[in-house]
């Protein structure tokens, strides 16, 4: 792969490959705490206790909104000035908060202690805290920890860190277990149900999801486990699963008709499902997906698209929009480009696409303005200024809050990009 750093040093390889602009400048991204918003909805008996500052509490409050009718399943144990100054024993205070919480909320079966920038700065060892508290609360409550800190991370890595903390908890698969399929990455319940139905129709019945809806539902792992990633940002989780002997089924991600078909095909191949059965299972939903996407094609075809690096979902989304809606890719930015996990997507994207990895906001803004896109996919921090300049934007965080995977969601995914163009078109009239 050709490498181009932000100061324009080029290293050419003889093979024609896409250009990757590597940037290491200023970043404008949310931190990993944000992932709690969709993780707590998915794991319905888990609680996320952020060990952080008032800033962390405010971020979560505004990202998740205020819950009036339900008891929230996340909270922040505030590290205050006394803790920061080393005047109080933060561990004692944490134990007190956890005891109070678990006494009051007996329905909690899994508690995540979520690290933040402040807890990392004062070097509060949350893995030790989780170990200590586990002794007290096992078997009623499983207590784990992971980092959601914004130091050197992007918001989707919060999910990767959370799922990585679950892998060691998964039991060992017995050697005689039949081959099983594990789908890794948070999906909406409705999407899980659709995929389960498709796998069952193909004849794949030993299927588990990580994370599952309930925290105790942890899959057994071993060499008979084949896993498919449903999200492209699960680098650490995938590494740990491979360490446990599981077999990664490399595939494009299940976005749009093309991606979903290729993703399902990877499972079908591993489980030796015949081409005929696969075609029978997928024919109707594929046609439905094509029809739903076609509805938005007129609005999207030929529109010029620029991605700022934000969610790591950018390459598969770009592939979907270019192949299935006719949008033109100007630049596809991503915070990290895990070539191993993304190779099937990069193969589909082809060599003409310009990829950028990492951030240098000012340089990217210059390139974006120069390219004159019709639509920019970016984080919330850049969206308002770009809108003020007359450029239509799509918030990339919506791509993790909205069910977009699978055939039945392909039309909704296209609509997410058509909507801001329609709105901007109306504003111009």
How far is CA 404 from each of CA 41, 401, 412, rounded to the nearest angstrom? 16, 9, 7
- Measured from the CB atom, the residue of 53 and 409 that comes closer to ligand SF4 is 53
Q: Report in angstroms how near the CB of residue 55 gets to ligand SF4 at its nearest.
A: 5
Of all residues in this chain, which one has the CB nearest to ligand SF4 in the complex?
150
Would you say 233 or 417 has its CB closer to ligand SF4? 233
Continuous H helices in 27-182: 36-42, 54-64, 81-84, 90-104, 117-121, 126-137, 157-166
* Minimal distance, residue 122 CB to ligand SF4, in Å: 12
CA 318 – CA 305 distance, rounded (Å): 9
Q: How far is the CB of 164 from ligand SF4 (least distance, A)?
A: 18
Please choose, from the candidates 159, 228, 183, the residue with its C-alpha nearest in 3D space to the C-alpha of residue 397: 159
The least CB distance from residue 143 to ligand SF4, in Å, is: 20
Residue 53 or residue 156: which is nearer to ligand SF4 going by CB? 53
- Per the CB < 8 A criterion, the answer to whether 156 and 310 are in contact is no
Residue 219's beta-bridge partner residues? none
The smaller minimum CB distance to ligand SF4, of residues 254 and 358, is found at 358
Residues near ligand SF4, by CB under 6 A:
31, 33, 52-53, 55-56, 59, 116-117, 148-150
Distance in Å, CB of 381 to ligand SF4, minimum: 12
CA angle, corner 68, sides to 64 and 70, nearest 5?
85
| Cβ–Cβ < 8 Å for 335, 154 | yes
* C-beta of 59 vs 221, nearer to ligand SF4: 59
β-strand 19-24 against 46-52: which pairing, if any? unpaired
In total, the chain counts a number of residues equal to: 429
Of 33 and 182, which CB lies nearer to ligand SF4 in the complex structure? 33
Least Å from the CB of residue 32 to ligand SF4 = 7
């Amino acid at each position: 792969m050709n490498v181009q750093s932000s100061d324009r040093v080029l290293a050419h390889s003889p093979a024609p490959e896409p250009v990757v602009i590597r940037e290491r400048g200023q970043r404008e991204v949310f931190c990993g705490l944000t992932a709690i918003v969709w993780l707590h909805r998915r794991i319905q008996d888990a609680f996320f206790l952020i060990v952080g500052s008032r800033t962390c509490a405010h971020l979560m409050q505004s990202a998740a909104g205020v819950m009036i009718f339900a008891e929230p399943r996340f909270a922040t144990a505030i590290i205050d000035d006394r803790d920061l100054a080393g005047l109080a024993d933060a561990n004692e205070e944490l134990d007190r908060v956890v005891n109070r919480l678990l006494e009051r909320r007996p329905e909690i079966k899994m508690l995540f202690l979520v690290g933040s920038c402040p807890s990392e700065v004062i070097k509060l060892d949350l893995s030790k805290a989780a170990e200590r508290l586990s002794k007290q609360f096992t078997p009623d409550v499983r207590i784990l920890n992971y980092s959601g800190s914004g130091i050197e991370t992007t918001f989707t890595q919060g999910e990767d860190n959370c799922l990585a903390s679950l892998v060691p908890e998964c039991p060992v698969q017995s050697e005689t277990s039949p081959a099983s399929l594990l789908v890794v990455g948070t999906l909406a319940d409705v999407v899980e149900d659709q995929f389960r139905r498709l796998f069952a129709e193909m004849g794949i019945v030993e299927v588990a999801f990580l994370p599952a809806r309930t925290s105790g539902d942890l899959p057994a792992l071993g060499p008979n486990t084949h896993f498919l990633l449903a999200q492209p940002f699960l680098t650490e989780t995938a590494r740990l699963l491979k360490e446990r002997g599981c077999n990664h089924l490399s595939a494009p991600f299940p976005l749009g008709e093309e991606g979903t078909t290729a993703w399902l095909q990877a499972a079908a191949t591993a489980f030796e499902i015949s081409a005929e059965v696969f075609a029978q299972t997928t024919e109707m939903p594929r046609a439905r997906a094509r029809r739903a996407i076609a509805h938005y094609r007129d609005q999207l075809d030929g529109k010029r698209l620029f991605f700022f690096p934000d969610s790591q979902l950018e390459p598969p989304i770009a592939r979907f929009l270019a192949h299935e809606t006719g949008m033109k890719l100007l630049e596809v930015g991503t915070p990290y480009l895990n070539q191993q996990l993304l190779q099937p997507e990069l193969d589909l994207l082809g060599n003409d696409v310009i990829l950028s990895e990492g951030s240098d906001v000012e340089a990217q803004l210059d390139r974006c303005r120069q390219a004159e896109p019709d639509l920019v996919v970016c984080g919330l921090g850049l969206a308002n200024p770009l809108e003020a300049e007359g450029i239509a934007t799509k918030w990339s965080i919506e791509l993790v809050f909205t069910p977009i995977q699978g055939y039945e969601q392909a039309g909704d995914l296209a609509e997410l990009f058509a909507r801001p163009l329609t709105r901007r078109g109306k504003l111009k009239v």
